[in-house]
Amino acid sequence: MPDVGLALGEGLRSLGLSRGEFSPESVISAAGRLDLECPFEFVAVGDASLLSNAREALAFRDAEPLLRRKTSELGCINIYRLASELGLNEDDVPRLRRVLSYSSGVVWLDESHEWLYSSEPARNRLINLCSKVLGVAPRLYLSELRRAVSKSRRLPMCPPQQILGALVERTGLAKVDSSIVVVNAGKATPPSEGTAEAGMLRVLDDFGPALDGEDFAEKCVSAGLSPITYYIYRVASPVICALGKGIYCKVGANIPPGTVEDIVRNRRMTKRISDHGWTSTGRLWCGIELSRMVITAGSIGLPAFVSGLSQGEWFVLLPDGTQAGTVQCRDSFIWSFNKQFRALGAEPNDFAVFEFDLKKRQVIVKVGGPDLLEAIQDPDGSTLDEAIDDA
């Protein structure tokens, strides 16, 4: 279990417990007539009725609705994370796969059946973000697309490149050939005219292809954007790309050799973006660039300032508030984030930011591009709302 009656009846016959067809309904009916406690329940999944152990029935019953909700919020989800949110263990994942196989709306994105989404929700936040990016850059590398959409503060995670590529193909948004994404005609939706992002893109078209951050700010303000709006969208918009610290361009832009070096040489002094410090809400934070070794082991070396304040056990939260186990900090190392990195779809050269709530003994972990280091230091970051994703 869980499975449909026909399959379970065949199992009873193959074990020699019955000579012919013998349905689970018969077992339950017999138990009722003999006043025996029956530890089974039926669960409706799509058009099928599956028999399940009673203690797992509620979780399996909630699997489809939860998958639809997570698809709308995240675009797709890892099966292990879905199981965790349903209150199931890793050992229960094969049974969860079996349950979901009877749902017509479930689409698997890899051969190992670890990543999936539901085709039923009308809205898919990740696909909407990809549509916006591809509306600006109709042809770009898959790694660029992933880095762009991961900037959204309302997207807690972005799947690995292979999974993202499968998602845009399965949904009909684009085709992927040799790690290059090419949008299908008429499928992408660039930022609407009159929006802040459209105004910033016009500035880059007129004065780019790349601009120093402060020069970019002055030109955007001169074009009618408020400074607060500029700084919010510069950090969180998927169509604005960071080439380095304080250097920006349009996503997918072709940057001539030497452009960045010229900007750095001529720029005015700018505030250095550190790799650790305090947020505007008084939380300790630390940011690192991930390697394959760090992702696999999940053990991270902390700066002395951070490790001195973070010794002991911490409860881990993902960006959407999902509880994700505990980690330990001892001396200058904190471990193990490997399961959390897997759930967030981390890849080598991604950046990870860890935000420590010293009072609650909680650490929030988020994975994305170098913009994360700037975003967590942005005092106006909390004012960002759904406008960026929905514009």
Can you state the percent helix, strand and coil of the chain, rounding each to 5? 40, 25, 35
Residues 33 and 113 in one domain: yes
pLDDT one-digit tens code per residue, 322-377: 888 999 999 889 988 988 998 898 888 888 999 999 999 999 999 988 888 878 87
Is the pLDDT reported for residue 385 higher than 50? no
> Residue 309 sits in a domain of what CATH number?
2.40.330.10
Residues 254 and 318 in one domain: no
Do 86 and 62 form a contact (C-beta atoms < 8 A)?
yes
- In the listed set 83, 118, 153, which residue is the last one of a domain according to the structure? 118
Evaluate whether residue 299 is within a structural domain: yes
Total number of domains in the chain: 4
284-289/77-78 β-pairing: unpaired
Lowest mean pLDDT segment, chosen from 121-125, 200-204, 262-266: 262-266
- In the listed set 64, 93, 118, which residue is the last one of a domain according to the structure? 118
Give the pLDDT of residue 327.
93
- In the listed set 152, 183, 214, which residue is the last one of a domain according to the structure? 183
Is the pLDDT reported for residue 69 higher than 90? yes
Tell me which residue range forms the domain holding 111: 3-118
Do 215 and 175 form a contact (C-beta atoms < 8 A)?
no
Residue 383 binned pLDDT confidence (cut-offs 50, 70, 90): very low
Number of H helices, E strands in the chain: 17, 20
CA distances from 179 to 83, 113, 251, 364 (A): 30, 21, 16, 31
Is the pLDDT reported for residue 386 higher than 50? no
Evaluate whether residue 188 is within a structural domain: no
pLDDT one-digit tens code per residue, 43-52: 888 777 888 8
pTM exceeds 0.85:
no
Percent of the chain surpassing pLDDT 70: 94
Residue 5 binned pLDDT confidence (cut-offs 50, 70, 90): confident
